[in-house]
Amino acid sequence: MAVLAAASQVAAYRLPDADELPARLSGVLEVVYLIFNEGYAATSGDEWMRRDLAEQAMRLGRMLAGLMPGEPEVHGLVALMALQASRFPARTGPGGQPVLLPDQDRSRWDRTLIAHGMSALARAKRLRKPLGPYTVQAAIAACHVRVHRFEDTDWEAILALYDALSQLVPSPVVRLNRAVAVLHVDGPDVALAAVDALRDDPRMTRYHLLGAVRGDLLRRLARHAEAAEELERAAGLAPTRHERALLMERAAAAAAVA
């Protein structure tokens, strides 16, 4: 209900005075992004995705872009949401279980949404203003949709973009995502050191994806017993049953070779 109430507030949004715009715009974009994220990866309930919420956020983003065509971060957010949503058809299996990025059938990605997202990203860049966090995240998403195989991903470009994003948004979640790029550039041992640096951050105590990433890195380093324990612990923190099932499956696979 809180998310829907926030959506109603955004729908009633009107362009503020020039001196109020920066603070007001930042808050509105954050609300829209939160709505989209809840649709992209739900934090409760039986479903991993809530496409209705994601589509509502995308509609609100397009409204904002119409109201403020000269604001690059508005176009950046529109681009980010479109590029992320383009993966929806491939993000779940027949039973609703999550399908992770390396395993997705990219032929099922929505090419129309990709085209819309890339166009919005280009508009954001054409405004020639300093890029904000939504535009940088959209550029990261663009690196994924430009290639037809996971193996062809330009991880060095993604790592550079995460370095830029870390300066704009110095959060542990950004650092965790950066560690995934480090894995593909510098290897699992370097990535594990980056992840372990986050373990004492109180903001990550109950963040299941920290354990999911760490468990995967331990598995890659052939530390299978530790990987199984980490993945099982992450499963206990996962907010949806599908994520719990996926993590428990990965934990069992690691335990089987320990």
Q: What is the CATH number of domain 170-258?
A: 1.25.40.10
Is the pLDDT at 6 greater than 80? The verdict is no
**What sign results for the dihedral spanned by CA atoms 48, 51, 56, 59?**
positive
What's the rounded mean pLDDT across residues 100-109?
Answer: 96
State the average pLDDT over residues 43-64: 91
Q: What is the pLDDT of residue 231?
A: 98
Residue 120 has a pLDDT of 98
The dihedral region occupied by 176, where left means phi > 0, alpha psi between -120 and 50, and beta the remainder, is alpha
Where exactly does CATH 1.25.40.10 map onto the chain? 170-258
Nearest to 241 by CA among 101, 99, 97: 97
Q: Which two tokens stand for residue 163?
A: 């370095």
Q: What pTM, to 2 d.p., does this model score?
A: 0.90
Query: pLDDT of 201-222, one tens digit each?
Result: 999 999 999 999 999 999 999 9
Per-residue pLDDT band at 128 (split at 50, 70, 90)? confident
CB 229 within 8 A of CB 33: no
Q: What is the pLDDT of residue 17?
A: 64
Handedness of CA 237, 214, 223, 193 (dihedral sign): negative
